[in-house]
Structure 1
Amino acid sequence: MVEPDKMDQRVKRLNDKLKEKLGLRGKTLEKRLKRAGRTLPKHLRREGAFIVKAQQQATNPKMARLIDQEALDRSFAMFRHYLKDINPTERRKDKIINFLGLLVFNLVVIAALYLLFLLWKGLV
C-alpha cells in the first residue's frame, strides 16, 4: 500500500527536478508533464501519466491498495535516471546556438536570393 505522505514527497522531489533540469512551469506534476510535451521521451510521458494517476489514487485509502508499488518505484527511477543526465546550462547554450545557426542560415538564403534577383535583372 502506498502512503500518501511518502507519495507526496516523491512527487514534490520529481516536480522540483523537472523545474530545475527542464525549466518547466506549473504548480502540479500533471501541469508540468503536460508542458513538457515532446521534451520527454514517449515512455517517460507514459510513466508520468502513471505517476499522476497513482498520486490521485493515493488520496483514497481503498484505491491506494490497488497501486502497484514496484511499477511506481520503477517509474520514479526512470525519471531520476533520465533527469540525472540533463545539464540545464548545456540545454540553454544549445538552444541559443541552434537559434543563431538558423538565423545565419536564413540570412545566407535571403542574400543568395537577393543576388540571384540582381543577376536576373542585370544589375550586377
Structure 2
Amino acid sequence: MTGNDQIQDQIAVTVALLRERLGVRGKTLRQALRRAKHRLPRRVYRRAMILARVENMVDHPKLRLTLNSPQLLSAAGELQTFLRSIDLADRRKGWWLGMLGGLAFNILVFAVLLLAFLAWRKII
C-alpha cells in the first residue's frame, strides 16, 4: 500500500471517528471539521485542516505525487489519537451535571428573590 492510499484510508477513518465521537455529520473531512471546529483544540484543528486541504488532491493522480505523505500521516495520527481519547460516558455525565448545576442555581436565585419579595412586603 502506498503512502497516498494510506492517506485516503486515514481520512476515511478520521471522518468516521468524528461522526462517532463528536456526532458531527459531513460527507467530506472539510465539512465535518467545519462543524467540529469549536470542539477541537486549536493545535489539533490546524493539523486536521492540513488533511482537509489535500483531501481532493489525493484523488487526482498527478497532484497526488506532490503531497508530503509523512506529514499528512502524522497529522492524521494526531487527530485520531485525540478523537480516540474522548470519553463519551464522561461527556454525557458532564452534560447532565452542567444541566443540574444550572437548574440548582436557578432555583436558588428564585428562592432568594422570593424571600426578598416577602420581606419587602413584610409577610415574613
| TM bucket normalised to smaller | 0.7 to 0.9
CA distance in 2, matches of 1:31, 1:107: 40
Are 1:32 and 2:32 matched, yes or no? yes
Deviations 1:35-57 (A, max 9, x none): 11211000111111110111112
Q: Indicate conservation of the 8 Å contact 2:7/2:73, yes or no.
A: no
TM superposition score normalised by structure 2: 0.87
TM superposition score normalised by structure 1: 0.87
SS of the residue 1:61 aligns to: coil
CA distance in 2, matches of 1:37, 1:80: 15
CA distance in 2, matches of 1:2, 1:52: 16
Q: Indicate conservation of the 8 Å contact 1:2/1:65, yes or no.
A: no
- Percent of paired sites with the same residue: 29
CA distance in 2, matches of 1:83, 1:37: 13
Deviation (angstroms), 1:6: 3.5
Name the residue aligned to 1:120.
Answer: 120
CA distance in 2, matches of 1:104, 1:30: 39
Q: Indicate conservation of the 8 Å contact 1:24/1:32, yes or no.
A: yes
For structure 1, the 5+ residue unaligned runs are none
For structure 2, the 5+ residue unaligned runs are none
Name the residue aligned to 2:54.
Answer: 54
RMSD of the TM alignment (CA)? Answer: 1.7
Deviation (angstroms), 1:20: 1.4
CA distance in 2, matches of 1:73, 1:10: 7
